[in-house]
Amino acid sequence: MNDLFTFLLLSLFVVMSPGIDTALITKRTISDGRKDGYKMALGITMGSLVHTLAAAFGLSAILMQSAIAFEIVKYIGAIYLIYLGVSSFISRKKARNLNQEKNNKMISIKSAFKQGLLSNVLNPKVAMFFITFLPQFVSNGSNVTAQLIMMGIIYTLLSISWFFIYVFFINYLREWLMSAKVQNFMDKTTGLVLIGFGLKLALEKQ
């Protein structure tokens, strides 16, 4: 696997970036308590594992067969990361409205774990992220499937660790964490990291 430290750092930025997962966990924790918050976090991270397996077994066959396909996936991934980064600088008002709309649709599901799992598994943006993000760190000539699964597991562990910490402290820090100033700062920081990494991938000699 290429550049483990970069993968860990970028994954951590993505995991901590505010989004629909954070919104769902926050709402569930505040309304039903930490126990449901933890269940929601587990459901969301299990959804990430589902996307990991889909990406691993779907992409590995393609990447192992063609060097050209490998390069195409790399460049698509770079473009998508830049897109995600640029999107972080766009007004959050529309994103908040969309998140609230999706939140309202999912709230009818009683099980916190099931709600988190379905919100993640049924989100096409999450699928696109895993399909384009994980291959950036695959090493040629090695077991591609094993590398993708390992990266997915690492990403899942980072996610569950952050979400559990978030849920634990949410009662004490929720006003600060959910403030526009903090969320805008996290969005812009993540945006810069994603744009920078995307440009690096696009410009470096493959």
Q: Can you tell me the distance from the alpha carbon of 98 to that of 93, in angstroms, rounded to the nearest whole number?
A: 9
Position 160 scores a pLDDT of: 94
Q: Dump pLDDT digits (tens) for 133-156.
A: 888 888 776 788 888 889 989 999
Residue range(s) defining the domain that contains residue 63: 4-201
pLDDT at residue 108 greater than cutoff 50: no
User: Does some domain include residue 206?
Assistant: no
Other beta carbons within 10 Å of 13: 17
User: Does some domain include residue 109?
Assistant: yes
Tally of domains within the chain: 1
pLDDT at residue 106 greater than cutoff 70: no
Q: Can you tell me the distance from the alpha carbon of 66 to that of 180, in angstroms, rounded to the nearest whole number?
A: 46
Q: Given pLDDT bands bounded at 50, 70 and 90, which one contains residue 116?
A: confident
User: Does some domain include residue 45?
Assistant: yes
Q: Given pLDDT bands bounded at 50, 70 and 90, which one contains residue 162?
A: very high
Q: Given pLDDT bands bounded at 50, 70 and 90, which one contains residue 157?
A: very high
